[in-house]
Structure 1
Amino acid sequence: MKRIALLFLLGLCLQVSAQKNYQRGLVVLTNGDTLKGWIDYRNWHVNPTSFGFKQDSLGDNVRQFTTTDISFFQVAGDKYLKAFITKDMLPVDFGNLASDSAENQQTDTAFLRVLVEGPVLNLYEVYDFKPHYYIQDSTKSYRELTYKCSWDEVNNRVKTRNYFHSELIAYLTLQPRYDKKLTHQIEHMGYTDKEIAKAVAALNGLTGQSVPYVSNNNKKSLSFYAGAGAIYSTMTFSGDDPYLKAFDFDWKTTPAIMAGVELFSVRNFSELSFRLEVAYSSIGYKTDNLVKRSGSGTDTVHYEIKQRNFTPSATVLYHIVRKEKFRYYIGAQFAVNISRYPANALTAKHQYTTYPSKIDNYLQINNDWPVVNIKTGAIINRRWDVSITANVWGSSVKTDLMHNTVKQYALWLAYHFL
């Protein structure tokens, strides 16, 4: 059953990646008309060439837009502008480098993601198999910032050329105030959206004018949450102990509290999120009138365990449904119960004597023991999180004589502080 559950979880994650994800947005047609509605936003890593659009979020009338139909669109905090560009298509990954003298230019009409808009330079990004960054000055033409990696056949080594450093510094020298600190920043930055956008925004700021738009390139966000729930739990034993062989506790319900932080991606991979969480619970197990018949008579046994758990965990979640105000997820959780036992006592009343036997700390129960769970739930209005956690594996006793299995199901209600 454990293997089936894990295979089901993996298969489900692989089959739902093509789902629709309509979010509020707007498009500007090539004739200048503006349409507001819902765009099928796929958290694009590679710049889109087309997308679905509908003006009614509940309707089925979907229009497919391409670069032929529109000149601009905006969705999920990102702006995309249609432009005719020339791209450097030489690879930059070390496994496929071309020779130092190679050239490969390609023209394209593409949707450029807007990174910065300002009085000196606008900055855009196109990603196909590698990132391309374009600047636009007062001439309104698009110029690719040049970054090349090639194989130097003469010296038998990789050659990297950061031409984009000097291309940006050329605009810096034209400003009324020359910023040496910004020059140093540009000379040492990498070819990434975060570093280049930060430098271009700072360059625009030297004019003393406001920078009207800087995209949010922080692709990861944190969400703190806290909540409470109820845990439904049982414990069963197996082994050769004369009292606890084939012994099990009845199902018990106990309240619990938890708090944590969720790491998720605003763009590109928002279907996945990761959680670090801590929970606290206190549960008591006990049973009466367990009778053990032996050659010496019948014993009536009372056994009680009180357990307090502090449980840190790590969880990976796949968001199957990803709507603006509703998300449904499923995932796997690995946790460690850090447990303390105020009670761990067995009392046996013997048929042959009036005095019962009481043994404290009867079992050697582990203070720290791992748990594997499957978790599923829904986030409503981006804040309310209702979830169920089911135990796949967990054991707190494992000796040569005895072994136990702990089964737990938990219902949680949490609130995300956005």
Structure 2
Amino acid sequence: MKNYFKLPCLAVFAIPFTLKAQTNFKPGYIINLKGDTLKGFVDYREWERNPASVNFRTTVNSATEKYTVENSQGFALTGYEYYERFTVRISQQTVDVTRASTEAMDSASVVNTVFLKLLTRGDKISLYSYSDEIKTRFYIKEKSGVPQELVYKLFFNESGSLQTVNRYRVQLQYLVQKNNIDDAGLSQQILKAEYNEHDLLSIAKKINGDKGHSFTPKSNGGKQFFVGTGVNYSTFKFTGSSALFPGMTENSILPQISAGLDLFFNNNTRVVYFRAEVSLSGNSFSYPPTPIATGSSTPATATLKINQYTFSVTPQFIYNFYSQDNFKIFIGGGARFNISKYNNSNFVITYGTSSSSTQNYPEFRSMGVSIPLKAGVTINNKLEFNAGYTFPLSIVKAPYLSSLAICGLGVNFLFGK
């Protein structure tokens, strides 16, 4: 019976080593060097940095082609993200406080051809962003011209105080004046604007008025609820030199029910997300009559019955290392906070024909924290099959040491988009 549970667990956790890198093709298009639009499917990733290349298919199952700044003018994932090729000057000064320069006029920069991410476009200006290993920068492009970086710098002055150069506010105010926009509220907004997408996108939209169009989804976040059921195979033993029932391991097979919430950092890719799960489970262990030493000349045996009921709260992170629209394979882990109750747990010592019984002996822990790992597959974003392993946890108080490990199989029903 033991292998019926452990083998599926081991098989699921071995899957990551047998699969190729994930793909996540979404409807989109490529703009080739001639300016033609090639419709098809673009491999969508959670890009923390602007991509230097993308994979493209004309149909979902066709051969994959690679497009870069050398053979395309841009690409898009329809409704998600849009990128255009430009040759721009890219500042190299960090905005990391721990690595900030001591030179106020540090003007180190490079000229490179890259894909800029389009955030909004209007009849007056367009706003772009570019992120690499150094920082995120924002660019403004007027209707005729090339994108210009909005300047933001950090540096330490001679006295060691951190100073900021917010030239981007002057650049934006200039555009307001150049376009004859009479809006005192907009000017105040620019004076208070931080160097981030939210603030700069809001200002760019107001400069364009009603003739602007955003190219960013309203929200990348998402959520789904789930309920689940499963079965746990638990192993329990006493450990240490003074162990009760030395060398003996007892097993328990009982069901578990669970429910929870998944929070997606990027609902379009769902590569990494946070899961909050609550569950109710139980264990039942029964040690058979076992000879023990009591110091008496009369032979004695001991038996032990443990009935444990546990309510758990498990925050965890899940990673879909293989992802298709209708099929995903994941692995995850976190911390499991347990509250346990022990009913009718009974330790019995028998001397010949007489016996003595002690309730709730040895003394059990009512609270504990264990480390779970989980892996499985998600089908059609509606059904999840999973296998989990919880590392050994001691549930008995001193002077005894113990080990409780759990291997589980389960299914979750997912509710959400």
TM-score by length of 2: 0.82
2:67 aligned with 1:32: no
Residue 172 of structure 2 aligns to a residue in which SS?
A: helix
CA contact (8 A) 2:88 2:113 kept: yes
CA distance in 2, matches of 1:18, 1:186: 47
Quote the residue 1:192 is aligned against: 196
CA distance in 2, matches of 1:17, 1:210: 47
1:15-414 matched pairs, under 5 angstroms? 19-24=21-26, 25-59=28-62, 61-75=63-77, 77-94=80-97, 95=99, 97=101, 99-128=103-132, 129-139=134-144, 141-152=146-157, 157-172=161-176, 174=179, 178=183, 180=185, 182-204=186-208, 207=209, 209=210, 211-216=212-217, 221-238=222-239, 244-249=245-250, 251-266=251-266, 271-290=271-290, 292=292, 295-299=296-300, 301-353=302-354, 356-400=355-399, 402-414=400-412
Name whichever of 261-270 and 224-233 sits farther off.
261-270
Residue 280 of structure 1 aligns to a residue in which SS?
A: strand
CA contact (8 A) 1:44 1:267 kept: no
Quote the residue 2:9 is aligned against: none
CA RMSD of aligned residues (A): 3.5
Q: Once the 2 structures are TM-superposed, how far is the Cα of residue 359 of structure 1 from its aligned partner?
A: 1.6
Q: 1:301 to 1:26 in 2, by over 3 A?
A: same
CA offsets 1:298-355 (integer angstroms, 9 cap, x no match): 44554322211111123233432133332222233321211011221223443143xx
CA distance in 2, matches of 1:119, 1:198: 16
Q: Once the 2 structures are TM-superposed, how far is the Cα of residue 176 of structure 1 from its aligned partner?
A: 6.0
Q: Report which structure shows greater RCO (CA 8 Å, sep ≥6).
A: 2
CA contact (8 A) 2:126 2:143 kept: no
Q: Once the 2 structures are TM-superposed, how far is the Cα of residue 256 of structure 1 from its aligned partner?
A: 1.4
CA distance in 2, matches of 1:383, 1:108: 44
CA distance in 2, matches of 1:293, 1:107: 83
Q: Once the 2 structures are TM-superposed, how far is the Cα of residue 140 of structure 1 from its aligned partner?
A: 5.1
Q: Once the 2 structures are TM-superposed, how far is the Cα of residue 218 of structure 1 from its aligned partner?
A: 5.3
Q: Once the 2 structures are TM-superposed, how far is the Cα of residue 247 of structure 1 from its aligned partner?
A: 4.3
Q: Which runs of 5+ in 1 are unaligned?
A: 1-8
Q: 1:156 to 1:55 in 2, by over 3 A?
A: same
Q: Once the 2 structures are TM-superposed, how far is the Cα of residue 168 of structure 1 from its aligned partner?
A: 2.1
Residue 343 of structure 2 aligns to a residue in which SS?
A: strand
Q: Once the 2 structures are TM-superposed, how far is the Cα of residue 64 of structure 1 from its aligned partner?
A: 2.0
Taking every aligned residue pair, what percent have the same amino acid on both sides? 22
Q: Once the 2 structures are TM-superposed, how far is the Cα of residue 396 of structure 1 from its aligned partner?
A: 0.3
TM-score by length of 1: 0.82
CA distance in 2, matches of 1:313, 1:229: 16
Q: 1:102 to 1:358 in 2, by over 3 A?
A: closer
CA contact (8 A) 1:169 1:186 kept: yes
Q: 1:306 to 1:316 in 2, by over 3 A?
A: same
CA distance in 2, matches of 1:379, 1:121: 43
CA contact (8 A) 1:239 1:246 kept: no
CA contact (8 A) 2:152 2:168 kept: yes
CA contact (8 A) 2:238 2:244 kept: no
Q: 1:17 to 1:203 in 2, by over 3 A?
A: farther
Residue 82 of structure 1 aligns to a residue in which SS?
A: strand
CA distance in 2, matches of 1:296, 1:358: 20
Q: Once the 2 structures are TM-superposed, how far is the Cα of residue 245 of structure 1 from its aligned partner?
A: 4.2
Q: Once the 2 structures are TM-superposed, how far is the Cα of residue 210 of structure 1 from its aligned partner?
A: 6.2
Name whichever of 289-298 and 229-238 sits farther off.
289-298
Residue 187 of structure 1 aligns to a residue in which SS?
A: helix
Q: Once the 2 structures are TM-superposed, how far is the Cα of residue 135 of structure 1 from its aligned partner?
A: 1.8
Q: Which runs of 5+ in 2 are unaligned?
A: 1-11
Give the AA of the match of 2:69. Answer: T
Give the AA of the match of 1:257. Answer: I
CA offsets 1:244-295 (integer angstroms, 9 cap, x no match): 444443x222221222333443299965433332211133333444455765
Q: 1:210 to 1:368 in 2, by over 3 A?
A: farther
CA contact (8 A) 1:92 1:149 kept: yes
CA distance in 2, matches of 1:241, 1:103: 70
Residue 332 of structure 1 aligns to a residue in which SS?
A: strand
CA offsets 1:37-81 (integer angstroms, 9 cap, x no match): 33333422222222222224334x332212232222112711111
Name whichever of 359-368 and 118-127 sits farther off.
118-127
